[in-house]
Amino acid sequence: MGECVNSIQFAAGPGFQPPSTSDFNLPPAFGHSLYATKPIFLVFLSVILISAFFIASSRKAAVVPGKFQFAGEMIYGFVRNNIGEEIIGHDFMRFVPFLFTLFTFVITNNVFGIVPFLQFPAMSHVSFPYVLAIFSFIVFHWVGIKKQGLGKYLKGIAFMPGVPKAVYVLLTPIEIATFFLVRPLTLSLRLFANMFAGHLLLLVFITGGDYMLHDPHLFMKILSPFSFAFGIGMSFFEFMVQCLQAYIITLLTALFIAGALADEH
Amino acid sequence: MHGTLNLVGYGLSAIGPAIATGMIFAAYISGVARQPEARSVLQPIAFLGFALAEALALFGLVLAFVLK
């Protein structure tokens, strides 16, 4: 992916190096270890922050919640009621811990993309969304197999009931590909591509503004604050996208679980 | 000026998902406007449709970087 990047010099004037995919390959944080990189530390930091926040907000739980407890309960209530109960229906409480963990983990790592000094969404490295998608994949298939038995579950996927027999020639490969390939792939790539594109977008405006500020022409210097202002505006837009993507990955996982739990698809 | 036609291609391919996203939210808005109490039912459906349409645009973006 790295070499093709320098070809993207469309709108840029001479000398300006536009941000590229190689900007995502950060150097190791300590020494030469390939495993000690910024995204990894961000993921650890997110786990610590999430744990600390929710332990602190629920430790002194009272009937009349304080501000802190209210914030924690609002996030939990959103995942439980708006995603868990509404999508999965009865028997949803089993999945709330998984959905809640997924949601908070993704939203924290996404929002790191616009937090000053951290400013890197860990999910813009495709390996992290892959792992999340594998978890989701295992959970929804496991749930379906446990509920219906392996044979019946696979039969339900491959041979959708209520369809004329001749259609199975087309439908069966599509359904199998959907359940075992397209679903985990789209789940991870959607999150990855959103975070990747968002970070790249911010990089374009900020590095562009920086370049214009150092340009000898006065005209460029005058215009550079606009680029920075756009970068700040886009940060708010990114915040919206980051929250939305955390919602969507949790929503889709809940939908997959609900589909596996349903008696027929 | 030099560069790659990939980005032009990506721009063209993004038209489809853009129209799709617009139509999905137009339908969602008019649905909620007609029947405000249906909002909670329509919201996951709207975002699911949005996510599916948007995925196409994002695959295009990834391919624009990957393919030479």
- What ipTM goes with this model? 0.76
pLDDT at A264: 53
Contact A69, A54 (CB under 8 A): no
- Would you call B47 and A247 a contact, using CB atoms and an 8 Å cutoff? yes
Number of domains present in the structure of chain B: 1
Question: Which has more confidence, A250 or A1?
Answer: A250
Contact A123, A129 (CB under 8 A): yes
Distance of alpha carbon B47 from the chain centroid = 10
DSSP assigned state of A116: T
**Residue A7 in domain:** no
Give residue B68's pLDDT band: very low, low, confident or very high (50, 70, 90): low
Share of chain A above pLDDT 90, in %: 42
pLDDT at A9: 42
**Residue A76 in domain:** yes
pLDDT 10s digits, A62-82:
777 788 888 889 999 999 998
pLDDT at A30: 75
pLDDT 10s digits, A27-61:
777 777 777 888 899 999 999 999 999 998 888 77
**Residue A5 in domain:** no
pLDDT at A4: 42
**Radius of gyration over every alpha carbon of chain B, rounded to an integer in angstroms:** 16
**Residue B56 in domain:** yes
CA distance B21 to A17: 32
This prediction's pTM: 0.85
Give residue A7's pLDDT band: very low, low, confident or very high (50, 70, 90): very low
Residue range(s) defining the domain that contains residue B30: 6-66
**Residue B37 in domain:** yes
pLDDT 10s digits, A148-182:
889 988 888 888 888 888 888 898 999 899 889 98
Query: How far does the CA of residue B67 sit from the closest CA of chain A (Å)?
Result: 8
pLDDT at A11: 45
| pLDDT of A16 higher than 50 | yes
Amino acid at B56: L
Share of chain A above pLDDT 70, in %: 94
Number of domains present in the structure of chain A: 1
Contact A114, A123 (CB under 8 A): no
| pLDDT of A113 higher than 60 | yes
A27 touches chain B (CB under 8 A): no
Contact B54, B17 (CB under 8 A): yes
**Residue B42 in domain:** yes
Query: How far does the CA of residue B53 sit from the closest CA of chain A (Å)?
Result: 11
CA distance A88 to A144: 13
pLDDT at B23: 96
| pLDDT of A120 higher than 80 | yes
CATH code of the domain containing B10: 1.20.20.10
- Would you call B58 and A190 a contact, using CB atoms and an 8 Å cutoff? yes
**Residue B1 in domain:** no
Token reading at A110? 């996404």
**Residue B40 in domain:** yes
Residue of chain A minimizing CA distance to B39 = A82
Residue range(s) defining the domain that contains residue A238: 26-261
Contact B14, B60 (CB under 8 A): yes
**Residue A14 in domain:** no
